[in-house]
């Protein structure tokens, strides 16, 4: 029987540049292997193989997907063993806090032919510069999209009944927590619900909420208080000692898109585009922010303005995704250069060394 697998993003291509939440998810691990090496050196494959091995042994596994290529992973964590293996190369460079005692560098550069790479030096430099430029163009365009989104939000903020918004939030706090408090410190993990990727928007909502008994789908418009409500619900849960998974918006990391309280079997998330879902179970419930707290007729009154802002926003997002796709295409060329110089038998030996050390940790846990 395979262990439970959950998938999420710990880094994102956002309107505020590349944004990392890696540290939050590595906190508390007693062994972290930080992989170093260039593109195409087999980091993602190595981590996937380690994850698959432990999942097949009935251990729960977390896959940290890569926002620049969602089919690749940037990390794998085996929570019950307190072990993680992560890609420690840019843009999510990881510095050890307790080198050797907790974090261990694994240099996959040992497997490449340096002389062959030296001959490709200029090509590697040019391609690397092009990748960096494509990402900068993407981030600037996402930032433009965010400014447009702010204008979109203003339309609804000025039509919001803040008293009703507070009433709704307080009602949910009562429903979620009642008089319950746990006599422990809350463990909080910050992650991304989804990501802007070269393929467009990608999220793992179905996977993350698969075994959650009660799911709340928040419907509403930009600026209708969804993120603010989620922040208040999370803050209350933390104050009462509940462990929380807080999922940030992959476009604007200052906003929240989902909160999961597994101890209560509750997930509440922004279920609007680009992560729009609809109830599919009897226990699923919709929270209609627009109908509850926005002045009736707002959509109709501001229809022309909304249409114009929406069109600008979508155009910017499409353009930014195009830049991410360009970066991926150029990076594929970089990977091909490195792959041609790699001795993957060396990488396999490094993977086996990591595996045997994790086996020792598992055995000492059982003892």
- Residue at 89 is within a domain: yes
Whole-angstrom Cα distance, residue 301 to residue 299? 6
Q: Identify whether residues 181 and 269 lie together within a single domain.
A: yes
What is the total residue count of the chain?
A: 367
Same domain, 104 and 181: no
Confidence label for 211 from pLDDT (cuts 50, 70 and 90):
very high
For residue 186, the model assigns a pLDDT of 98
Q: Computed from CA positions of residues 193, 186, 84, 16, in that sequence, does the dihedral angle turn out positive or negative? A: positive
**Does residue 46 register a pLDDT over 70?**
yes
Looking at residue 276, what DSSP letter applies?
-
pLDDT of residue 366: 83
Which among 294, 318, 353 is the end of a domain? 294
Residue 281 has pLDDT above 90, yes or no: yes
Do the domain assignments include residue 308? no
225 and 107, same domain (yes or no): no
Is residue 33 a part of any domain in this protein?
Answer: yes
3-state helix, strand, coil in the chain (%, to 5): 45, 25, 30
Is residue 243 within 8 A of residue 262, CB to CB? The reply is yes
**Contacts by 116-122, CB closer than 8 A, 24 or more apart:** 116/340, 116/341, 117/337, 117/338, 117/341, 120/337
**Structural domain boundaries enclosing 22:** 5-112+343-366
Same domain, 350 and 284: no
Per-residue pLDDT at 49 exceeds 80: yes
As a whole number of angstroms, the distance between CA 96 and CA 161 comes to 48
Q: Is 332 domain-assigned?
A: no
Q: What is the pLDDT of residues 285-344, one digit of tens each?
A: 999 999 999 999 999 999 999 999 999 999 999 999 999 999 999 999 999 999 999 999
Instruction: List pLDDT tens digits, range 158-205.
Output: 999 999 999 999 999 999 999 999 999 999 999 999 999 999 999 999
Q: Is residue 300 part of a domain?
A: no
What percent of the chain clears pLDDT 70, i.e. is strictly above it?
A: 99
Q: Are residues 33 and 105 in the same domain?
A: yes
Give the tens place of pLDDT for each residue, 137-156.
999 999 999 999 999 999 99
Residue 153 domain-assigned (yes or no): no
Number of domains in the chain: 2
Q: How far apart are CA 205 and CA 192, in angstroms?
A: 10
Helix (H), strand (E) at residue 269: strand 266-270
Which of 256, 275, 294 is the last residue in one of the domains? 294
How does DSSP assign 186-207, residue by residue?
Answer: PPEEEEESEEEETTEEEE-HHH
Decide if pLDDT at 360 tops 80.
yes
Question: Which residue, 294, 328, 358, sits at the end of a domain?
Answer: 294
Report field, pTM of the whole predicted structure over 0.75 = yes
φ, ψ dihedrals at 144, nearest 5°: -65, -45
Residue 319 in any domain: the answer is no
Is the CB of residue 246 less than 8 Å from the CB of residue 189? yes
In a domain, 324, yes or no: no
Residues 231 and 239: beta-carbon distance below 8 Å: no
Neighbours of 333 (CB within 10 A): 16
Give residue 156's pLDDT.
98
């Amino acid at each position: 029987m395979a262990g439970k697998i959950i998938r999420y993003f710990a880094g994102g291509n956002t309107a505020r540049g590349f944004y990392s939440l890696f540290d939050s998810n590595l906190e508390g691990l007693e062994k972290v292997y930080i992989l170093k090496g260039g593109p195409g050196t087999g980091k993602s494959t190595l981590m996937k193989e380690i994850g698959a091995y432990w999942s097949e042994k009935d251990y729960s596994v977390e896959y940290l997907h890569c926002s620049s290529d969602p089919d690749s992973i940037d990390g794998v964590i085996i929570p019950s063993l307190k072990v993680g293996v992560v890609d420690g190369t840019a843009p999510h460079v990881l510095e050890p806090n307790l080198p050797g005692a907790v974090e261990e560098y694994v240099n996959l550069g040992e497997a490449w032919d340096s002389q062959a790479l030296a001959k490709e030096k200029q090509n590697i430099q040019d391609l690397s510069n092009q990748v960096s430029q494509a990402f900068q163009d993407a981030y600037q365009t996402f930032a433009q999209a965010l400014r447009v989104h702010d204008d979109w939000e203003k339309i609804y903020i000025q039509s919001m009944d803040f008293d009703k918004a507070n009433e709704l939030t307080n009602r949910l706090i009562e429903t979620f927590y009642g008089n319950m408090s746990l006599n422990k410190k809350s463990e909080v993990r910050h992650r991304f619900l989804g990501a802007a990727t070269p393929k467009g928007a990608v999220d793992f909502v179905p996977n993350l909420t698969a075994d959650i008994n009660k799911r709340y789908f928040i419907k509403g418009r930009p600026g209708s208080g969804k993120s603010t409500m989620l922040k208040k619900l999370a803050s209350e849960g933390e104050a009462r000692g509940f462990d929380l998974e807080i999922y940030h918006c992959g476009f604007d990391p200052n906003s929240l898109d989902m909160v999961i309280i597994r101890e209560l079997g509750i997930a509440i998330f922004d279920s609007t585009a680009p992560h729009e879902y609809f109830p599919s179970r009897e226990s699923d419930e919709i929270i209609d922010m627009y109908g509850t707290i926005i002045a009736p007729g707002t959509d109709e009154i501001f229809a022309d303005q909304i249409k114009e802002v929406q069109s600008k926003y979508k155009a910017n997002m499409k353009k930014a995704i195009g830049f991410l796709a360009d970066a991926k295409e150029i990076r594929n060329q970089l990977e091909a250069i490195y792959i041609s110089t790699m001795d993957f038998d060396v990488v396999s030996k490094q993977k086996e060394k990591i595996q045997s050390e994790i086996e020792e940790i598992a055995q000492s846990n059982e003892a």
